[in-house]
Structure 1
Amino acid sequence: MRARRAAVAVTVAAAALATLLGVLAAWPIYQTPWLLVPAVAGLVLGSGIVWVSVRLRWSAPLLLTVAVVVFALTVLPVAVPLAFLGPPEGLLPWAADALAAVVTGWKQLLTLTLPVGTYQTVLVPAYVVFFVTSLSTGWIALRGRRVVSLAALPLLVPIAFGTVFGSAEVSAPLRVGAVALFAPREVALWVAAAALGAVWVAWHAGADRRAALRLGRAGRSAIVRGRATRVASATAMLLLAGLIGLTFAPALAAERVVPRDSVDPELVVAERPSPLAGYREWMTDARIDAPLFEVRGTDALPGRLRLAVLDDYDGVNFQVSPEAAGRFTRFPSGPSVADPVRVSITIEGGYDDIWAPTAPLGGPPQFAGPRSDLLADAFYVNRDTGAAIAVPGEPGSEGLAPGDGYAAQMSAAPDEQLEGAPASDTPLLDIETMPELAAWIRAQNQPATAAGLTELVDRLRARGYLSHAMSGTDSEWITRLAEQHGTRFEPSVGGHSIARLEELFAQLNMQQRSVGERAGEAQLVAAVGDDEQFAAAAALLARALGFESRVVLGVRLGAGVPGVTGCQSVCTGEHLSAWVEVRGEVGAWVPVDATPQVTLPPTSLSEGEQLPEFPTAAEERDAREVDPPLGFGDRSEAADEADQGAPAAGLWPVVRAGLLALSALVLLAVPLLFLPLAKRWRARLRRREPVAELRAIGAWLELVDRAADAGVHVPRAMARSDTARLLGTEAARQIATEVDRAVFAPGDFSDADADRLWHLVDGEAVKHRAETGAWGRLREAFALRSLGIRLGRRREHFSGSGSGSGIDSGSDSVARASRPEELS
């Protein structure tokens, strides 16, 4: 008993150390204290199930059944903490997702950007690893000394999990004097794992010697020699592990390939039309009042919500660069943000695009609405630009749709001020392709600094004039601007190509030359356009001075700017705006507004001409022919038709979750159903033997196999008559006699005789089932004794009826169960 308690204590201690190493190895994957919950739960439950199974002498199938049931009951509270943040009715879908994650969670873990935190069901694989490690270690260690050393293998599983599913980046080299240790953290973990395995093997290898020493059956010198040998072997193992780690660590640090590198999703958003090109579509009478989304918050709201972030300019459009487009990944966790607030977004009827309105995110959003599960699996964030997209991929609705909603922690920090030097001493664009832009910058005489860029953008806005259309003096947008600011209509051409922007700067240059150096600011107003042209122009101004820049399409919350108001609750097309984000040599991206002013109309002068005392309305300029702008998020007729089936489409997430859960349960049930089905197939083959003598032998073997599964121990090489006395039933004696006659007696053995033996076997089975409870029948169905594997208790008789021979099968300590086919 003392030795048994020591074995249990050593096994639990080894499993606990392996779990601790697994937590350290998997920490870069999760980076959340909640990782300790599945680790501790897996250790306690796995070890506890094994301990109970040993005390009660459970069979392997029973142990596996209990383990599966315990895991299924505990996986939700242990590994899916987010399930309890929502309403109680949402627990059932979460439970289905948790069971499905046993199968699908591994690939999901590889497709997410690290760290994943407690996102959805990503902790389920970790719980599986910790639970199975403790369970298998204890089961192997407490079965017997012959296989106990094999328990060192599952002890390595937790650290292997952290290595395989971790990041390709390793820890920074550790320098000790002139020596550099590459990947010190990873090497230390594997050396510790090797040490654990070596100590485990060494400890159990000396168990017999320690027992002999206690009984006084071994000499002290032999024990000392054996101990020295084990210590030397363990030391050599540790030195070899450390040498291997230090040898291969430089190559590991140079280029490490892990499975996640080959399965990262790539979403080609660059193929979509530039949302900036469709900006004017939102200012038309049909869409200016269209509700896009509703914004609510428990506290102060962010100053801006971004939709698309466009970082690449090809001379025609600002769009998402191919490089940035490939970096849209799942968002299981986010960095801490300044001034975090809880913001809720609800998509309204006027919006149906892939771009999700967000401020800098501090964590993954929680989706609501009929497509919440679908959107949670289709939400991606570009960690470089901060833009977010939702691409559920439903036919006719690739992005967000009315009724969708989500809530997330977002930053409400105020905008920073642009400071410092530019990122480059040379322009970040080919300045020779835009001579008018270069001429305007030279004419302003501003330095290539943050202050100089700020002054240039301010002058650009002050000398521009807001206009959203080429024609339409009675449009809703000009009516509202006229009421608020006295704005009059001026025609302007759409687009933001190099030709269009060069035309804008040419107007500014000509006006400045015409009015001379002494002109006031009102006389310099000449360029006409809206956020599309002026945001693009400001971005190119920044690049010409060496600053990095990108164009952002979004809305302002609260206070806006003259010409484009901020939305208070429900954002409509009227609130959509574009601005620029600029970054210098150091620091973060800083938003810079570029909307032109709306109060001072432009004047048209020839060089040397004086301004008229009473200005008249400007004559409409000739406009070059341009292609109509592509709508931002236009819905096609196919999309409208698809919307008619939206209610039916809402059932798909439920059906999908059910199918995944069913698949997981089927996979878990396969190993459990294998044994009963295999035994029935074996009996079927025996009953259908074409030769009567073989069919009779099959009846005897089936009787013996069923008795073995019921707990009767039949020693090796026992005659059939002795076996029948051991079974203690009249049917067994009759079958044994008839089979001996079929095998040894002369004459024919008829099919009727063989069928009569099978009837006796079936009758014995019916009588035994009547005397055995449901739990006993289930235990016998999964027993392994008929296959020669004895894990449970023995019984002397097959059934309660009949008299046995009095043979004490438990006293046969050296006999081993053999396959019934070996019985003669």
Structure 2
Amino acid sequence: MRALILALAVVVSLVPLWPVYQNPAFFVAVAGGALLGALIALLSARGKWSVLRTALTAVTAYLIFGVPLAVPSEAFFGFLPSLQGELNLLTGVVLSWKQLVTVMPPVGTYEALLVPVLLLSLLGVLLAVVLSLRIIRTRGIASVAALVPVITLGVAIWLGPSRSFASVVVTVGVFVLIAMWFALSRVGVARAGFRAIGILVLSAVVASAVVLVTPITDRTVWRTEIDQPFVLQDDTSPLSEYRSFVTGDDKNKDLLSVTGLSAGQRLSIAALDNYTGVLFSVGGVAADFTKLPGSIPTTSKTGDEVTAQVTISGLTGAWVPLTGELGSLNFTGAGSRALTDAFYYSRPAGTGAVTTGLIEGDSYRTTGLAAPEVSISSVGSLEPGDAIVPAPQVMPDGLDAFVSLSSKGKTSAGERVQAALTALTSQGYISHGGPEEVSSASGHGANRLAALFAASPMVGDAEQYAAAASLMATQIGFPSRVVMGFIAPEGSDAGTDVTFTGAEMTAWIEINTTNGWVAVNPNPAERPIPEEQPQDPTEVAFPQTAVEPPAQDEPQLNDNSAPEAADEEQPTAVDPVLQAILAVLNVVGWSLLWLGVLASPFLAIVIAKRRRRAARHSAADPRDRVEGAWSEVRDALLDHGTAASASMTRQELAEITALPAATTVAVLADTAQYSVDSVTESDVIRAWSEADGVVKELDANLTRWQKFRAKISVKSFGLSWARFTAWLPKRR
């Protein structure tokens, strides 16, 4: 029973790993490993096996049962091990730990990522039960078994997600089970109770420290500290190649074919949120790509689920076109396994990439949640969301003036974005700068966009208009990003195979609202471009902005505030040293409060005894003060464990102790009670002096624990700790 409680503590300690897996196979691996570990431990204890025999048995069990428990996808008929499964099982002992924190959760049964759970459960329960059964309980070293669930708990939290899953509750639960395990040790009931209380105090202090120091919603774990194997550079941008698609050799080249898109639905190559003043790229937190375990839950609040089969033709390279926020992706055809291993995904950007690059003939089936499209006329009712995107490092000249003039008189952020986009589409004209087209420079750097705002008429294509629209939305307060991809033409349906060429490449923007990301098309309708208008010297040209680029190494995160808030005084940053000191003081303060609350019953007992002594010592009648000295001796004897019956006289009880001072106090008390002679002040002083001597002699040969137990004993009040610890399991 005692060992099984510790085994249960190990199982409970693995609960923080559930958000990483979110698959029933997690419980199968935990339960299977725990049963195997407990069975091997019981056989080892009963047969008095050596350490080597116990270890070899555990390895054998791992190899026999490990494939169906930890690599179920490689098991024949779901329960028979295979050669590939055994290889994954062996390599997983070393490699799966790091892979687990580099794959986007939930990982489910992806490859051999259940191996860490199986090993923690199997070895944790095995060690806990073996140590609990085979180490003599009365030895101090027996307590080392309680460290096993503490270690597995720490590993589970360290491997777990950065956002806490009731880790504090699980921590307290583990310590409660450890307290019960301590309570079953072969010691007295009272001491077992105090052991349990001590562990509960420790768990409460630890839980308080976790809550106060580490924010529950954002913890530092291995997953947040490890360098991801695939990180995009700031200069990686498919938008910089846009003009080559629509005017170059790829203009009439088949890039890819798609089945499953209806008219107007989109296939995005990449979502770009980081503007450096030279180009748009995937930046900030979105630049860290993680491996995808096949499928993941979508987080968007709105949108339509779109499933498509994509076959690559001329659109080779790292980018993987998707139908929206990714739900699942499965490569098909030759090389599918290698492509699966090389695929990485950024959830913040909704963008996928393959490290080895896509080649002609690669195909895959993907399901995603497409951002709903919103017309410019409907943007006015939207409110900014709370997505975090990097702030633009540079704003093009003329953008501020264009936004101010076009949105004059508008109050809400949505209305201002609507007015600015309306002006952009009404004043802008489309030209790719190709043969027989109006001259239009490529690029979307700050100089090119400044020229766009200054020109009359404004001439550009989706590259410039999407970049300008995204920067305007960001300036007004909406988190925004540029998306490059394709839009299914009119007449398409889910059963139609659509082939896209370079000429059909386009770009649009997505803005984050209180309902999630929405797509907006900021591109003007194609129409004849009027002749360039001469500048009217009487009109005020767009002034250049006086705002210099922020002098910093890393882009600031967008705080989603309206431009009027930019001039407001920002709060002073807190000194990190002061912040650390305050955090420590906070933990110490709350810990002392916890200790004070939990220690209050014992403090109450000590205070009650002091008040009782003071009342006896200050009695008005000297006779009562002498008798009070004896009462103090009798209470001390009871609290130190001396058995005394109510029929015993004072001197009989004093003789049991064999302490001369106790006999002296007994004689003085009898004289005070039965003698007709008066009691002098010297008798009172002598009685109390001898009484204090009795207490000192009783404590002389005791340990600190025994002295403490005597101080908080309630036997002198006619009570017993056995009443308060009756709920504890009794030793058989």
Task: Summarize the alignment of residues 253-652 of structure 1 with structure 2, pairs less than 5 Å apart.
Answer: 253=215, 257-265=220-228, 267-284=230-247, 286-297=249-260, 303-321=265-283, 323-324=284-285, 326-332=287-293, 333-336=296-299, 341=305, 343=307, 345-363=309-327, 365-392=329-356, 399-412=357-370, 414-416=372-374, 418=379, 419-421=381-383, 434-435=397-398, 438-439=401-402, 442=405, 447=410, 449-471=413-435, 473=436, 489-508=437-456, 526-559=457-490, 568-583=497-512, 586-604=514-532
The amino acid of 1:409's aligned partner reads: T
How far 1:124 moved relative to its partner? Answer: 1.5
* Structure 1 counterpart of 2:170, from 189, 212, 218: 189
Task: Summarize the alignment of residues 114-129 of structure 1 with structure 2, pairs less than 5 Å apart.
Answer: 114-129=105-120
Seen in structure 2, the aligned counterparts of structure 1 residues 581 and 244 have a Cα distance that, compared at 3 Å, is closer
Residue aligned with 1:492, SS:
coil
Residues 651-676 of structure 1: per-residue CA shift (max 9 Å, x gap): xxxxxxxxxxxxxxxxxxxxxxxxxx
Residue aligned with 1:528, SS:
strand
Seen in structure 2, the aligned counterparts of structure 1 residues 81 and 598 have a Cα distance that, compared at 3 Å, is farther
> Partners of 2:81 and 2:257 in 1: how far apart?
24
> Partners of 2:472 and 2:52 in 1: how far apart?
73
How far 1:192 moved relative to its partner? Answer: 3.0
State whether residues 527 and 602 of structure 1, in contact with CA within 8 Å, keep that contact through their aligned partners in structure 2: no
Give the equivalent residue in structure 2 for 1:227: 189
Q: Is the aligned partner of 1:205 residue 2:186?
A: yes
How far 1:311 moved relative to its partner? Answer: 1.9
How far 1:307 moved relative to its partner? Answer: 1.7
State whether residues 5 and 177 of structure 2, in contact with CA within 8 Å, keep that contact through their aligned partners in structure 1: no
State whether residues 437 and 505 of structure 1, in contact with CA within 8 Å, keep that contact through their aligned partners in structure 2: no
Give the equivalent residue in structure 2 for 1:236: 198
Q: Is the aligned partner of 1:163 residue 2:157?
A: yes
Seen in structure 2, the aligned counterparts of structure 1 residues 83 and 435 have a Cα distance that, compared at 3 Å, is same
Seen in structure 2, the aligned counterparts of structure 1 residues 73 and 293 have a Cα distance that, compared at 3 Å, is farther
> Partners of 2:212 and 2:298 in 1: how far apart?
30
Seen in structure 2, the aligned counterparts of structure 1 residues 90 and 341 have a Cα distance that, compared at 3 Å, is farther
How far 1:100 moved relative to its partner? Answer: 1.5
Seen in structure 2, the aligned counterparts of structure 1 residues 237 and 542 have a Cα distance that, compared at 3 Å, is closer
The amino acid of 2:177's aligned partner reads: L
Gap regions ≥5 residues in structure 1: 1-8, 172-184, 207-225, 393-398, 474-488, 509-525, 609-824
Seen in structure 2, the aligned counterparts of structure 1 residues 549 and 73 have a Cα distance that, compared at 3 Å, is same
Residue aligned with 1:46, SS:
helix
State whether residues 496 and 532 of structure 1, in contact with CA within 8 Å, keep that contact through their aligned partners in structure 2: yes
The amino acid of 1:190's aligned partner reads: T
Seen in structure 2, the aligned counterparts of structure 1 residues 453 and 41 have a Cα distance that, compared at 3 Å, is same
State whether residues 255 and 312 of structure 2, in contact with CA within 8 Å, keep that contact through their aligned partners in structure 1: yes
Residue aligned with 2:258, SS:
strand
Give the equivalent residue in structure 1 for 2:91: 100
State whether residues 453 and 545 of structure 1, in contact with CA within 8 Å, keep that contact through their aligned partners in structure 2: yes
Residue aligned with 2:365, SS:
strand
State whether residues 6 and 146 of structure 2, in contact with CA within 8 Å, keep that contact through their aligned partners in structure 1: no
The amino acid of 1:189's aligned partner reads: V
* Structure 2 counterpart of 1:69, from 31, 45, 60: 60
State whether residues 417 and 472 of structure 2, in contact with CA within 8 Å, keep that contact through their aligned partners in structure 1: yes
The amino acid of 2:240's aligned partner reads: A
How far 1:129 moved relative to its partner? Answer: 0.6
Q: TM-score, normalised by structure 2?
A: 0.61
How far 1:71 moved relative to its partner? Answer: 1.9
How far 1:85 moved relative to its partner? Answer: 12
Seen in structure 2, the aligned counterparts of structure 1 residues 271 and 46 have a Cα distance that, compared at 3 Å, is same
The amino acid of 1:407's aligned partner reads: R
The amino acid of 1:460's aligned partner reads: L
> Partners of 1:243 and 1:495 in 2: how far apart?
59
Seen in structure 2, the aligned counterparts of structure 1 residues 530 and 45 have a Cα distance that, compared at 3 Å, is same
> Partners of 1:231 and 1:406 in 2: how far apart?
62
Give the equivalent residue in structure 2 for 1:640: none
How far 1:128 moved relative to its partner? Answer: 0.9
State whether residues 2 and 184 of structure 2, in contact with CA within 8 Å, keep that contact through their aligned partners in structure 1: no
Give the equivalent residue in structure 2 for 1:111: 102
The amino acid of 1:158's aligned partner reads: T
The amino acid of 2:97's aligned partner reads: W
Residue aligned with 1:547, SS:
coil
> Partners of 1:440 and 1:18 in 2: how far apart?
60
Seen in structure 2, the aligned counterparts of structure 1 residues 266 and 77 have a Cα distance that, compared at 3 Å, is closer
Seen in structure 2, the aligned counterparts of structure 1 residues 382 and 80 have a Cα distance that, compared at 3 Å, is same
The amino acid of 1:41's aligned partner reads: G
Residue aligned with 1:461, SS:
helix
State whether residues 269 and 325 of structure 1, in contact with CA within 8 Å, keep that contact through their aligned partners in structure 2: no
CA-based RMSD: 4.1
The amino acid of 2:282's aligned partner reads: V
The amino acid of 2:124's aligned partner reads: T
> Partners of 2:39 and 2:525 in 1: how far apart?
73
> Partners of 2:77 and 2:453 in 1: how far apart?
54
How far 1:44 moved relative to its partner? Answer: 2.1
Residues 254-288 of structure 1: per-residue CA shift (max 9 Å, x gap): 99643334313275523435322210111246212
> Partners of 2:158 and 2:68 in 1: how far apart?
26
> Partners of 1:560 and 1:320 in 2: how far apart?
33
Residue aligned with 1:106, SS:
helix
Seen in structure 2, the aligned counterparts of structure 1 residues 367 and 84 have a Cα distance that, compared at 3 Å, is farther
Residue aligned with 1:153, SS:
helix
State whether residues 234 and 281 of structure 2, in contact with CA within 8 Å, keep that contact through their aligned partners in structure 1: no
State whether residues 493 and 529 of structure 1, in contact with CA within 8 Å, keep that contact through their aligned partners in structure 2: yes
State whether residues 421 and 450 of structure 1, in contact with CA within 8 Å, keep that contact through their aligned partners in structure 2: yes
* Structure 1 counterpart of 2:8, from 16, 30, 53: 16
How far 1:386 moved relative to its partner? Answer: 1.6
Residue aligned with 1:493, SS:
coil
> Partners of 2:46 and 2:78 in 1: how far apart?
41
Residue aligned with 2:506, SS:
strand
> Partners of 1:18 and 1:537 in 2: how far apart?
56
- Give the percent of matched residue pairs that are identical in Structure 1 and Structure 2: 30
Q: Is the aligned partner of 1:131 residue 2:122?
A: yes
Task: Summarize the alignment of residues 43-82 of structure 1 with structure 2, pairs less than 5 Å apart.
Answer: 43-51=34-42, 60-81=51-72
How far 1:114 moved relative to its partner? Answer: 4.9
Gap regions ≥5 residues in structure 2: 537-732
State whether residues 542 and 548 of structure 1, in contact with CA within 8 Å, keep that contact through their aligned partners in structure 2: yes
How far 1:404 moved relative to its partner? Answer: 3.7
Task: Summarize the alignment of residues 763-802 of structure 1 with structure 2, pairs less than 5 Å apart.
Answer: none
> Partners of 2:438 and 2:80 in 1: how far apart?
57
